[in-house]
Chain A
């Protein structure tokens, strides 16, 4: 029986989570209730944050923390966009093929995830400004 390797398990898990995040994000439609989706996204990003920090992926944990903050505000309705900020900005993010192709943690995982989440946050910020 191969001995367990939690770091490798995390990398596989992160790939699955990113795939899920992508699917949930692509299914979001402006104007439709997004509460469940936002909760799911929050949980997935929270897992990336907690487990990422656990295995020394500090940059991943830092960035996912920012994403969480945005999702949290959206969930609490503190952002006027409870849908628009997150949905539109995530939608914009995922329409960018360059970012999508980077949305995997396999290979040089750290760099790929950092770039993607930085892009996500940047787009989230832009979306917020556009709405106000």
Chain B
């Protein structure tokens, strides 16, 4: 059965390119428009991997990671954050909140697939 990946990003174009890339690679992708949406969908869709942007309205990526990590069934789920080069402080905060790793934007499709394959063997 295909692994499910939840991606949270307030940028429609980012959601589209991430979904397109991962669906082509054979994953089932669930999209969330912000942290609050992601938190709701994480319960409904039970993903195997969360890929989240950091700057989002309503609930930002750091807080999303923190709240997801507090869910018993998501304690060990891999979480990847999408950052930009200028977000070092946020990256540290994300790691402290429980993120497994990060991908710096801009990234190539192959990089994203590689990370997904590595985290979802």
- Residues of A at under 8 Å CB distance from B? 4, 6-7, 9-10, 12-13, 42-43, 46-47, 49-51, 53-56, 61, 65, 68
Contact = CB atoms under 8 A, between A and B. Distances in A.
Q: Which of B10, B53, B106 has the most CB of A within 10 A?
A: B106
Q: Determine the main DSSP class of A at the interface with B.
A: helix
B17 A54 contact: yes
Interface residues of B, number: 19
Interface in B66-118: 82, 84, 86, 105-107
Contacts, number: 56
B13 interface: yes
Contact of A13 (B12, B19, B82, B106): B12
Interface in B25-77: 53, 55-57
Interface of B: 10-14, 16-17, 19-20, 53, 55-57, 82, 84, 86, 105-107
B86 A55 contact: no
